[in-house]
Amino acid sequence: MKELQQTVSAPEAQPAGEVIVMPRVAVRKRRAPLAARFNAIAGHVVPALLGLALLVIAWQIAAMTTKGFPTPLSTLDSALTLFADPFYNEGPNDQGIGWNVLASLSRVAVGFGLAALVGIPLGFLIGRFTFLGRMFHPLIALLRPVSPLAWLPIGLLLFQKAEPASSWTIFICSIWPMVINTADGVKRIPEDYLNVARVLQLSEWTVMRRILFPAVLPAVLTGVRLSIGIAWLVIVAAEMLTGGLGIGFWIWNEWNNLNVENILIAIVIIGVVGLLLEQGLMLIARRFSWQDK
């Protein structure tokens, strides 16, 4: 009888052992996502740091082999001095780097904003109506490859001032990605959507507002993202020729003063600002994109 009781009590003791083991398994499951997250972050950060280190090494080699080319350390010292007071103002021709960047961004905002106001509706019309697409396609193919520096003299002739000429150059160069991507997005809308609109006898404005715009929004945002990068590139070249306050003219002025350290600093600033503009628009594009969901 005692042996029978022992055999019966043995299975009852087993669950108690399992209860002790379960928390360890749970802890391991909780730690696994943290390790995976750390590995994912390291997989992105480590290659970026290696690429940055490679750039610094190449920079140092260029400084050692090229007369007058500054080293990374000397450029860093100049950057610390430059950013100690980025918004000083000692006259119209002597202002801090912060004011120059803001002046360039204001010109980009004007030219890019006008390009968006014209380019996005024009892209809708080109994609919606075949006749307009056939009419504008040769013009777009002809004008899109033209260099920004070729458009700047036309702007100076039309407006007689450097400020609107720079905005005009940004406008004419950054409008094409928005037109092309918007038109392509409209053409890719499923035909079933438009068939339903015909059956319901919706007006053209309702079709545009309720069907075309929500469906084509990801393509529009892609065009906007490409255009903002072009606009930021164009303003630097335009300001070098027109002068005045701006990051482009600031670079040209530093070159005339043979201050190569500040030129390299300006290159980094241009890259960082362009990256921030593009990443901000990419976040907006992901927020409104239904294709990845």
Which range has the worst mean pLDDT, 41-55, 104-118, 162-176?
41-55
Can you give the pLDDT at residue 32? 54
Mean pLDDT along residues 25-29: 48
- 251 or 24, greater pLDDT: 251
Q: What is the pLDDT of residues 109-125, one digit of tens each?
A: 999 999 999 999 999 89
Q: How many alpha carbons lie under 13 Å from residue 183 in its C-beta half-sphere?
A: 22
Backbone angles phi, psi at 95, to 5 degrees: -130, 160
Count other Cβ atoms within 10 Å, centred on residue 110. 18
Can you give the pLDDT at residue 263? 93
On the question of pLDDT at 291 being above 70, the answer is no
Mean pLDDT along residues 172-177: 94
How far apart CA 224 and CA 233 sit, in angstroms, is 14
Can you give the pLDDT at residue 290? 52
Can you give the pLDDT at residue 7? 47
Mean pLDDT along residues 103-110: 93
- Is pTM beyond 0.85 here? no
Our measurement of the distance from residue 83's CA atom to the centroid of its chain's CA atoms, rounded to an integer in Å, reads 24
Count other Cβ atoms within 10 Å, centred on residue 80. 9
Question: What's the one-letter identity of residue 205?
Answer: W
Question: What's the one-letter identity of residue 191?
Answer: E
Q: Could you give the percent of the chain with pLDDT greater than 90?
A: 41
- 166 or 36, greater pLDDT: 166
The full set of domains in the chain, from first to last, is: 97-288 (1.10.3720.10)
Q: Cβ distance 70 to 79 under 8 Å? A: no
Backbone angles phi, psi at 89, to 5 degrees: -145, 105
Mean pLDDT along residues 247-274: 92
Question: What's the one-letter identity of residue 116?
Answer: A
On the question of pLDDT at 92 being above 90, the answer is no
Of 205, 219, 211, 206, nearest to 192 by C-alpha is: 211
pLDDT confidence band for 289 (50 / 70 / 90): low
